[in-house]
A and B are shown apart, each in its own frame.
Chain A
Amino acid sequence: MQRWPVLLFLAWVCFLFFAGIGLFMSGFLLTRIELANSSSCSDPLVPPPWDEQSLPPGSCWVPRRFPKAVLVIIDALRFEFARFNPAKVSPLPYENKLSFLHHLASSQPRHARLYRFRADPPTATMQRIKGLTTGSLPTFIDVGSNFATYAIQEDNLLAQLVQNGRRVVFMGDDTWEGLFPKKFFRSYFFPSFNVKDLHTVDNGILQHLYPTVDSGEWDLLIAHFLGVDHCGHKHGPDHPEMAKKLTQMNEMLRSLVEHLGNDTLLLVAGDHGMTETGDHGGDSEKEVNAALFVYSKTPLFGTDPPEEPEAVPQVNLVPTVALLLGVPIPYSNIGEVMAELFSGDGDAASAALQQLSVYHVNAKQVDRFLRSYSLVAQDLPAEQLQRLQELFSSAVEEHTQLLAQVQGATLTPPEMESRLRSLVSRFQLYLREARAVCTQSWARFHPLRMVGGCALIAAACLLCYVASELASVSDSFYRSCLLYPLLWGLVVAVLLGLACTFTQEGLDLLLLSSCAAAASQLGFFWHWWGRHPKRARLVGSQPPLASVGPRQRLRAWLVLAFPMGILLFRCGAMFSDSFVVAEARVAPFLLASLVTLLVGKLHWDGRLTVPEGPKQQLLGFSSYRKESWYLLCLVAMLLVCVRLSGFFHQCREEIPQCRPSVFLAPLASLRNTRAKNLFYLLCVALLAGMVYAVRSWLRHYGNLNSSDPLVLFVRWGFPLVVLCIACYWAVASSAEDSLGKLQELVQVAVVAFPWAVYGLTSVGLLLLLCHPMTVFAKDTRESAGSIVTPYQGVPSSEVDFLHVIPQIYRRMQESQKNRLERGSCRATVAAYGLGSVYSAALVIALTLLGFLLMLLHSERLSLAFLLLFLEAFVLLHIHTRARSLAGDTESFSVPWFAVISWLLAASQFFYSTGHQPIFPAIHWNAAFVGFHLDHSTNLLPAVLVGANTFASHILFTVGCPLLLLWPFVCEMPSSQKKKPKKEPQEELQEVEEHMMEMRLRESPEKFSAALLQLGLKYLFVLGAQLLACVCAAMILRRHLMVWKVFAPKFLFESLGFVVSSICLLLGISLVMRVDCAVSTWFSQLQLR
């Protein structure tokens, strides 16, 4: 059997997928590291003009200009909405509606000003709120200390205000509640989820806004209106509803300004814009272009406004507001102060001096941030950081010089003014460059990389399909379809690497590997195409193959169409946010449909009925065979399993009426002691039952007879593992106070028992690797030499050896059937359990993994795991029955139906073990099974949580070779029928029929080809799902739900793919390891 080429081929295909995923991710998922530091009043950033004593009370860093501010956020306020053009004759519904802003700006030009407010992508509301309060560029994954909540961990404006004793009052969008828990002095949250609802949030705010403003019990008041955004999503901007909504906002602003005092700053801002269809999330001009309006009843600006409104990046709001209100700038801010708001009413020189000082504070803060960021992360390019550093230090140096000269009064006013101005522009340059560097690495999609990643994944899927169809696996197949493509890839990689070293450019490992992957794919298709015409000619020379008519080909296509159609439905469902949200119910529905379809098709083809005899033909009646009823019972059982598994669901916030399953909570949280004890007993009984079932299965197939260490482990180790788990559950679920004095003992036990389980399972897995054979050989003669009658002595070549194996095997089977006394002259070696040696190893591995994963879940989810094993068992039986009924028992290839249903069951149980593809639903508790709330590294908790999350992927994928093996294992019962035939024929029959898994060994070429084909089919189906997710994330990156639904789904799906593909390789290599062991066993037998 060819082992290495198969594994290499599968690993290569996995690598192709990984390269695609990596490339796509680098273009789509922007990441950034969150710093835990925060600014404080006492930071040594205060510029020279104001040392700490001279600062007015209530100010930090610089003297505050306003004690109070109102921030009105109108969600999705595009710049065009806020702009007023009186010359416009027939304005669109969204134009010229905010006339009050124009009125303020034109009547009081030094009090009010409109800006273009440039939002940074991703322009989703949550990311924008983060940006508007932290002054940074939030990405999809802000790698921070805590994944479990959405709360902002970084230093932010609100935290600074609260830290300095200001009162922040909030009203509006309830997203803020999750982002800033317990930060508000007073808050009025309104649900933001229903996009169709235009008025709830706005009316709720309007009800509380004016009374709150009048009460004066606030320092910063934030009002976040959602009506405009929701109107955009529902109707688009170009709709009469939008005119109404904007007019309402205009009136709101008019009355708000009437209620404001002289010491209050008013800011009206949009968090992002919207496209012509009313969506946002991406980086197109219309989404990025929001409006900002600043107003105060005291004069703000020293100069008149420019003709065309200035463009201001959104991050600039944070340092500006912070310094205006006299609080420190948040630590991670990369924005630049809007200096014109700090000029005051003095002469030009003093204004410039004042601006210079705020710039100086700002630059110092940004420099401090960049320094600490570059210490923890390397994603900002080093040489650019170096350059920024130089810019900063030279500007600071000049600043100190200039200040000394100003104090010494050695400068003439015009000279000083020009130098001040040049210095200001140098600070500006520094701040802008710093922001540009950050933007470049944090806030930009790379469409080219995304498309490239998609293309790589799609091509890899195609490759899987094509290669799985090439059933005739020969040496030339591996040479042309594996070796040459690998060489192609290697050559391209080496060439690119050399080019990089010659041109002294930084070597991007990701790009390099994706280029190599693309090249090797091209190589594959090239060689495949080269083989193709040859194949056609070959077929042409063979008349029987050539005569395959279009009708038969059509039928072959139809056989494919049903499972592929279901797969298509599944992939299509990834493109709708509702279906992704409802996937926990979609996957079981599709699985049930697929299995029903299979039965329906078998029925339609007449496979389930008794072959028509003359009698039936006469009556026109048909009845079912006995096996068909068995199949129908299995299908019913499967449907029941599928339905029952729905009771272990977790909820997402998108479905508010959903209540999470009670089984997800750990037993410790149960109040009712009796229910707790009952559940505990049930879970433990269940574990014991599983061990019993596995052992009796093994005993039934004779795999429990030998005294190998592995078998001993199955006999004694399994109950021990169960005992440890039971003890752990008992300790973990017991009420903490009831134990009193035993507290310390419990502390030890909580750690010790999981470790015992870890230890025992790893011992078991190691044993499985070292001695995977569970065969018991019984020698009834002294010499085995006479077994092999046709061949004298030791077989000389591999070919002879291959013929020998079945020979021995047949005799063994006979002995196993207790025919020793009858054929004692022939039966010499009895091998028990040889017929299921591969499956036995897999079953043992799966049981061990199951124990391990159950330990990581909460106790009552072991019920779900029982269902998982039961469903997998039933699926395997359905697959076997369906095959035998359809009449292709000989075939080594696993039908698509089986692979797709297997994977559907895997994704169904992802949900049925209490998971959802969103971050807050991850079971973080799994990281602390056997650990005391601290980890020295991040690796171990990641592995534990990952194993918990992808438990069903792991189990189903490791068990996937069973799809190939099971039909052979189940051969037994069908052959036990007595057939009234002549003696020699009967013997022949038996000899032919008891081969079981040894049939695979009989033709090792076909065995390895079948394993390869199974792996490729599995990867194809997995890859198709992944491709759908990737395409959905790419195409729908402007969708309202992209960061809430599609991006997390993509992330979970791709991680699941990685886990699954690794497990697939492991599962297949386990089978091959067993095969090796069987070979050595046979050769030892031979030599004895």
Chain B
Amino acid sequence: MRDAEVRRLWAANLLCAASVVLTAVVPAFFLDGFTVLGTHLTWLCVCSVCVGTLNVILCLVLKPSLSPKRSSLGNKISRFLKCCIYFFMSCILFHAIIVLYGAPLIESVTETFLFAVLLSTFTTLQCLCMLGPNIQAWIRVFSKNGATSIWENSLQITTICSILGAWFGAFPIPLDWDRPWQVWPISCSLGATFGYMAGLIIAPLWIHWNRKQLTYKSR
């Protein structure tokens, strides 16, 4: 059971990572002059949409969170709407936090917002998929000894890695190298993406490494 679960986690995470790589390559065949750096905003949209869709699909297929009770259609719709609202709010929240951290307030609002959407995709959307629109569960997962399954462990690691990546991505901006990727928000979004991909790889490895210590409380 445990091994099968880990294998499924591997498959899902590799799929996610591959999809990120594909979003950088594939659109070039359809769109003229598409590059990650040159047409960064397009890439941001494509990447957010692809990763988001894939996450939703994976969540529906694999069902990592077994909801305890069957719910009615109305219940499901309200849950879905709630998820949408949460996602949108997290985008706004991320935007605000990024601005508070020093991003320009008025210029390049689009860039900042799309970056916030990307970050939300990497973090909030996953939480929504796995835990549903339930803040209390989120709070529980992101605390020490709070994870109850390897999926939640993976969620912890990818989320933290994405945010750390975005944070480190801010460091090259002041340097006077005059590289195209130093333009706001390219380095940060690239940092977040690399952090996310690293998290996807690290999470199963870490679980494999600590499989002895990982004992989840059955709930």
Contact = CB atoms under 8 A, between A and B. Distances in A.
Interface of A: 196, 576-579, 581-582, 585-586, 588-589, 592-593, 603-606, 609, 618-624, 639-640, 642-643, 646
B178 A578 contact: no
A621 B101 contact: no
B39 interface: no
B134 interface: yes
Given A592-B101, A604-B144, A643-B102, A578 B175 contact: yes
A607 to B, nearest CB: 9
B121 to A, nearest CB: 21
A1046 to B, nearest CB: 14
B134 A621 contact: yes
A609 B143 contact: yes
Nearest to B175: A578
Given A576-B175, A609-B143, A621 B99 contact: no
A588 B219 CA distance: 43
30 contacts: A576-B175, A577-B176, A578-B175, A578-B176, A579-B174, A585-B102, A589-B101, A589-B170, A592-B101, A592-B102, A593-B167, A603-B139, A603-B142, A604-B144, A605-B144, A606-B144, A609-B139, A618-B219, A619-B136, A621-B137, A621-B139, A622-B136, A622-B143, A624-B139, A639-B97, A639-B100, A643-B99, A643-B100, A643-B101, A643-B102
Given A609-B140, A621-B140, 17 more contacts: A196-B178, A582-B174, A586-B174, A588-B102, A589-B102, A592-B100, A609-B139, A621-B134, A621-B137, A622-B140, A622-B143, A623-B136, A623-B139, A624-B139, A639-B100, A640-B100, A646-B102
User: Which of B97, B134, B146, B174 neighbours the largest number of chain A CB atoms within 10 Å of its CB?
Assistant: B174
Interface in B6-53: none
Interface in B152-185: 167, 170, 174-176, 178
A1020 B23 CA distance: 49
Nearest to B140: A622
Interface residues of B, number: 22
Contact of A606 (B100, B143, B175, B178): B143
Contacts of A196: 178
Contacts of B139: 603, 609, 621-624
User: Which of A603, A618, A622 neighbours the largest number of chain B CB atoms within 10 Å of its CB?
Assistant: A622
A480 to B, nearest CB: 41
Contacts of A576: 175
A640 B102 CA distance: 10
The 4 closest A-B pairs by CB, nearest first: A582-B174, A621-B136, A639-B100, A622-B140
The secondary-structure label for the interface of chain B is loop
Contact of B143 (A582, A589, A605, A643): A605
Given A576-B175, A581-B174, A620 B148 contact: yes
Nearest to B148: A620
User: Which of B97, B100, B144, B167 neighbours the largest number of chain A CB atoms within 10 Å of its CB?
Assistant: B100
Nearest to A636: B100
Contacts of A593: 101, 167
A577 B178 CA distance: 14
Nearest to B145: A606
Contacts of A578: 174-176
User: Which of A582, A620, A639 neighbours the largest number of chain B CB atoms within 10 Å of its CB?
Assistant: A620
A949 B144 CA distance: 45
A995 B20 CA distance: 59
B119 to A, nearest CB: 14
Contacts of A579: 174-175
A603 B100 contact: no
A639 B103 CA distance: 13
A224 B139 CA distance: 65
Nearest to A577: B176
Contacts of A618: 219
A603 B146 CA distance: 11
Contacts of A640: 100
Nearest to B137: A621
A433 to B, nearest CB: 44
Interface string B89-116: 0000000010111100000000000000
Contacts of B174: 578-579, 581-582, 585-586
A501 to B, nearest CB: 53
Contacts of B97: 639
A259 to B, nearest CB: 37
Contacts of A646: 102
Contacts of A585: 102, 174
A642 B101 CA distance: 8
Contacts of B102: 585, 588-589, 592, 643, 646
A620 B167 contact: no
A934 B12 CA distance: 76
A603 B143 CA distance: 6
A646 B97 CA distance: 15
A604 B144 CA distance: 5
B184 to A, nearest CB: 12
B149 to A, nearest CB: 11
Contact of B137 (A577, A609, A620, A624): A620
A609 B142 CA distance: 11
Contact of A604 (B100, B134, B142): B142
Contacts of A588: 102
A592 B170 CA distance: 13
Contacts of B134: 621
A767 B96 CA distance: 46
B181 to A, nearest CB: 15
Nearest to B173: A582
A618 B174 CA distance: 49
Nearest to A620: B219
B151 to A, nearest CB: 14
A640 B97 CA distance: 9
Contacts of A622: 136, 139-140, 143, 146
A577 B177 CA distance: 12
Contacts of A620: 137, 140, 148, 219
Nearest to B143: A606
Interface string B125-144: 00000000010110110111
Contacts of B99: 643
Nearest to B101: A592
A579 B97 CA distance: 22
A619 B148 CA distance: 12
A604 B143 contact: yes
A624 B140 CA distance: 10
A870 to B, nearest CB: 15
Contacts of A577: 176
A651 to B, nearest CB: 14
